[in-house]
Amino acid sequence: MSFQIKPNSRHISVSQCYTFLNGMEIYDVIGAGEDCIFLDSSKPESPYSNHSIIGIHPFLSIRYENGVITMDNHRGDVHISEETDIFSLLNEIIKEHSLKNLTGLPFVAGGLGFFGYDLSKELESLPSTAKIDVQIPDCHFVFYDNYVVLDHHLDCVTVTGLGIHETSETSVRKLIDRILNPEFSLQARHTESDVQVQLKVGPFTSPFSQESYMDAVQSMRSYIEEGHIYITNMTHTFKGFYQKDPLVTYRNLRAVNPAPFSAYLPFKDYQILSSSPERFLDIRNGRVETRPIKGTIHEDQQLKKMW
């Protein structure tokens, strides 16, 4: 099934197909590579594994790091700015490429990426007390000409195209043909069957000793008792050397620890591999939903009466 939506003189082509391939196999089949983000609901039995989304054929990357915005149009042109506000810039780009989604899918066009926690300093004047453990941008988003969206309830694959690099109909047809090509499908299935579920990891080190870790926990308890904070998340960074292909590692990760909110972000100079049971925020039609795991307990009716 295919149809077109016409937003602001640009139309988006949408086509659907059915395949026995899973999301990881489709990611391999379509030849997604550098800068092609994969939002992966890798745990099919979870009630929250609704859709997986793959971005392909990027046409714009926005990166914010150390107060500098870098824009790359993936055609050899790179623009650097220290004056533009990152949030205003992203809003302008979204507005420029806005469209009305009539498909029933949660996402058919736009950008994929992340906001780092340290980006909060752009919104509030906060002291810089945290040690920088990992050298990655505070914000990194990629906008794509095509998306592949998997509906895990209907076992249906939807391909969308904006017509940036070539006509939307052509790019969508090429991706559909590749997904349905028996040769590529068998190759992808073979690759997926070779996944080694026993991960071999090198020595990882923590910045904490046992004593300093317990001191930090006690400090957080004191902050809560004194009313400075009411909830906190004690995390720390483990470091180690690793030389394997990040994509191979992600295949292993999703096999060992499948999760409804997994993700693979293969940027040029760094990669992010994520496997999470938590939904941070879901915003639809002005309604915000969050499903945290840490720090949550069942509602106590007796305690509720006390309040």
Asked if residue 53 and residue 84 are part of one domain, the reply reads: yes
Asked if residue 83 and residue 61 are part of one domain, the reply reads: yes
Asked if residue 295 and residue 216 are part of one domain, the reply reads: no
- For the stretch 180-198, pLDDT in tens is 987 766 666 556 555 555 5
Domain boundary among 188, 213, 239: 239
Position 202 scores a pLDDT of 65
Q: What's the pTM value of the predicted model, to 2 decimals?
A: 0.84
Name the pLDDT band for 31 (thresholds 50, 70, 90): confident
The CATH number that applies at residue 182 is 3.60.120.10
Asked if residue 63 and residue 33 are part of one domain, the reply reads: yes
Asked if residue 69 and residue 89 are part of one domain, the reply reads: yes
What is d(CA 280, CA 261) in angstroms, rounded to the nearest whole number? 9
N-terminal to C-terminal alpha carbon distance within the chain: 54
Judge whether 114 and 265 are in contact, CB under 8 Å.
yes
Kindly report the backbone phi and psi dihedral angles of residue 145, in degrees, each rounded to the nearest multiple of 5, phi listed first: -75, -35
For residue 238, pLDDT over 70 is answered with yes
Asked if residue 85 and residue 49 are part of one domain, the reply reads: yes
> Based on the structure, what is the number of domains in the chain?
2
Residue with tokens 């949030």: 87
Question: Which residues are 72's β-sheet partners?
Answer: 61, 78
- Domain holding 193, by residue range, is 2-198+242-306
Distances (CA, A) of 76 to 35, 60, 63, 71, 142: 15, 11, 16, 11, 15
Asked if residue 120 and residue 232 are part of one domain, the reply reads: no
Asked if residue 130 and residue 25 are part of one domain, the reply reads: yes
- For the stretch 137-184, pLDDT in tens is 999 999 999 999 999 988 899 999 999 999 999 999 999 999 998 776
Residue closest to 162 by CA, chosen among 295, 13, 54, 45: 13
Asked if residue 176 and residue 43 are part of one domain, the reply reads: yes
Judge whether 12 and 123 are in contact, CB under 8 Å.
no
Asked if residue 161 and residue 79 are part of one domain, the reply reads: yes
